[in-house]
Structure 1
Amino acid sequence: MAAQSSKIGFRVLAYISIGLAAIGVVLPLLPTTPFILLAAFFASKGSPAFASWLEGHPSFGPAIRDWRRNRVIPLKAKLLACCMMLLSWGLLFVMGAAGMVLAISGIFLASVASYLLTRPSY
Structure 2
Amino acid sequence: MWLWRTVGIIAFALGAIGLVLPVWPTTVFWIVAALAFAKSNPNWAEWIYRQPGIGPPIKTFLETGALAREAKIAALSGMAIAAGLIVGFGHDNRWLMAGGLSLIGIGALYVITRKPIRPE
Give the structure-2-normalised TM-score: 0.83
Of 97, 116, 120, which residue of structure 1 is paired with 2:115? 120
Of 22, 34, 40, which residue of structure 1 is paired with 2:34? 40
* Matching of residue 102 in structure 1 with residue 97 in structure 2: yes
Equivalent residues in 2 for 1:5-24 (5 A)? 7-24=1-18
Match of 1:71 in 2: 65
Deviation at 1:70, TM superposition (A): 2.5
Match of 1:4 in 2: none
| 1-structure distance, mates of 2:83, 2:22 | 12
Deviation at 1:94, TM superposition (A): 1.8
User: What is the CA RMSD across the aligned residues, in angstroms?
Assistant: 1.7
| 1-structure distance, mates of 2:79, 2:62 | 25
Give 1 or 2: higher helix fraction. Answer: 1
| 2-structure distance, mates of 1:23, 1:11 | 19
Aligned residues: 115
The list of structure 1 runs, each at least 4 consecutive aligned residues, that deviate by more than 4 angstroms after superposition, is: none
Match of 1:55 in 2: 49
Percent identity, please. 28
Q: Give CA-to-partner distance per residue, 1:30-74, whole Å, 9 cap, x none.
A: 433222211111110011221121111112221122123322111
Contact 1:85 1:109 in 2 (8 A): yes
Structure of greater relative contact order (alpha carbons < 8 Å, 6+ residues apart)? 1
Give the unaligned 5+ runs of structure 2. Answer: none
